[in-house]
A and B are shown apart, each in its own frame.
Chain A
Amino acid sequence: MGAHPDRRSPGIAGRSLARRSAPLAIQIKDGVLQYPLGTYARGSLKSLVMSVFGHRERTPSAQFVSALRGINLEIQQGERVALIGHNGSGKSTLLRAMAGIYPLASGSIKVSGKLGALLELGLGFESEATGRENIYYRGMAMGYSKKTLAKYEDEIVAFCGLGDFIDLPVRTYSAGMYVRLAFAISTAFSPEVLLVDEVFGAGDASFAKKAVARMQEIVRQSGIFVMATHDMGLVEEICTRAIWLEAGRILADGPTETVLSDMRSRAAG
């Protein structure tokens, strides 16, 4: 395995962290996020047409579930933050809001720094395209140019270890091969602000070991690291701060040991 491309130079996306004029930061003020229930719609066409004839019975407006409720937090440069909590507590939603993918219903999010997110590894593949072609599509979706990706192509192919399968359409891949390729592409670059959703230990046992080593390397390179996970061992190993979420609210926020200890006490009691 060759040296990781970003490790050959301290620059990240053409810019060194040391040379930044403003510090990296994430600020969320009164963040509220509401998921629409069922189809996102503004009412049916039927109700629209009937309203022309004076029909006043309106289709009930879309129902929402509050996924984040009044989130206030600030993450500074150098912090390694874990988002923890039960399924449905809002961890992944908060990550997506930080990445600017999910819009807030109210409140604001400010991110200072070049963002990179590893959210759902299986998403964003063109099934008829080959693995090699998908390196480019996925890399371009991360905002990298064809020229930049061409430089990293060989390294990505070597890391995922798919051999000749790399030139076959990805629809022929098994789930594990999918994950290997997605992980290799997504982790070929180190952004300034890295958001990760449960992608450590991807693939089979041999690949998982390699994947964890690479993730730890990327974490060291990034200016801010935020991870949503259920793996408390990993949280203790990597993160300096933990944010415990429940029902879209922050239940506790502080040093990893303190928050994990609170969480364990509650689980025990």
Chain B
Amino acid sequence: MSFVNVQDHRLPFFVRYLADLIAYRHLCFNLVGSDLRSRFRRTRLGILWAVAQPLIFALMLALVWGNLAKAPNYWEFALYVFTGTVVFEMFSNAAIGGQDSLTSAAGYLKQARIPFFVFQVRTVLSGTVIFFFGTIGVFIFAAATGTFPPVGLHLILVPAFFGIYVLFLVPIAMLMSVTGLQYRDVKHISGLVVQGLFLMSPIMMPREIFAQLPYFEYLNPLVPVLDLFRAPILHGAFWNAQSLVVVSVWIVGLWTAAIVSSVSAGRRLVYAL
């Protein structure tokens, strides 16, 4: 039960797979560009929507929830919601968009033996570019509203967070694409889970509420993920070791599950496209 292209068969599987990924990197990066162009093509604001959309959403949420939570400073609370919204948007993009990452690439996958990973990672990278512009928006908003924390070495952690977050989201996109093709129910369940996570994460809810639910911080990975993003931006602080450990454990677990499910499904998934 095998397909072998003899010209590169002397190399171990992992090396061959890596070589394939490198060979198709151009395709992956150009498709990310295509995703962004088609998302913002013919809009007046273009890529600025990546900032405007979460910002307007955050301002509206902050108006309602800031009053309910009796937040002492509207702009500080708006920045808190804005940071939560941009992080959540990227998560939602990976989880929901990840499901269709292989289906939308059927045209390519039925033409050539291209690694599935190229299209799974494409979804996350498209979200990363939008997240990048959203983060710039966060800094501009913080500076404009006088809520910017003291500048210091801790800000180095912001680009480091991008790396960690991509590592966290790629296996989620892989799992969603593989399970989504095998179980059609996944699409319905994932919509519910993503909506639930929005309400059960410190996006608009004050962070203090979650401190009263200690186990929840381990069960919902978005709690420590949001802590890592906000620490240098909102509090001018370095990362909390506990959040970093919890996120790392989640990353290892998700990668293990993603690799096992991908290897187990193999290329048979192409029949479902």
Contacts and interface: CB of A to CB of B under 8 A. Distances in A.
Contacts of B106: 123
A123 B108 CA distance: 7
A112 B6 contact: yes
Contacts of A145: 26
Contact of A123 (B6, B38, B107): B107
A36 B271 contact: yes
Interface residues of A, number: 48
Nearest to A126: B34
Interface in A13-59: 22, 25, 35-36, 39-42, 44-46
A41 to B, nearest CB: 6
B209 interface: no
Contacts of B272: 36, 39-40
B2 A128 contact: no
Give the residue among B7, B106, B186 with the most A Cβ atoms within 10 A: B7
A125 B26 contact: no
Interface of A: 22, 25, 35-36, 39-42, 44-46, 96-97, 99-115, 117, 119-120, 123-126, 128-129, 133, 136-137, 140-143, 145-146
A144 B146 CA distance: 50
A129 B107 CA distance: 15
Interface string B204-223: 00000000000000000000
Q: How large is the interface on B (under 10, 10 to 19, 20 to 34, 35 or more residues)?
A: 35 or more
A74 to B, nearest CB: 13
B269 interface: yes
Contacts of A22: 6-7
Given A40-B269, A145-B26, A125 B107 contact: yes
B108 A141 contact: yes
Given A102-B271, A104-B2, A123-B106, A137 B112 contact: no
A106 B186 CA distance: 30
B144 interface: no
B120 to A, nearest CB: 16
Given A107-B1, A123-B111, 20 more contacts: A36-B272, A39-B272, A40-B181, A40-B272, A42-B182, A96-B110, A97-B3, A103-B3, A106-B1, A108-B4, A109-B2, A110-B6, A111-B3, A112-B6, A120-B111, A125-B107, A133-B34, A137-B27, A137-B34, A146-B26
B44 interface: no
B109 interface: yes
B191 interface: no
B267 interface: yes
Contacts of B235: none
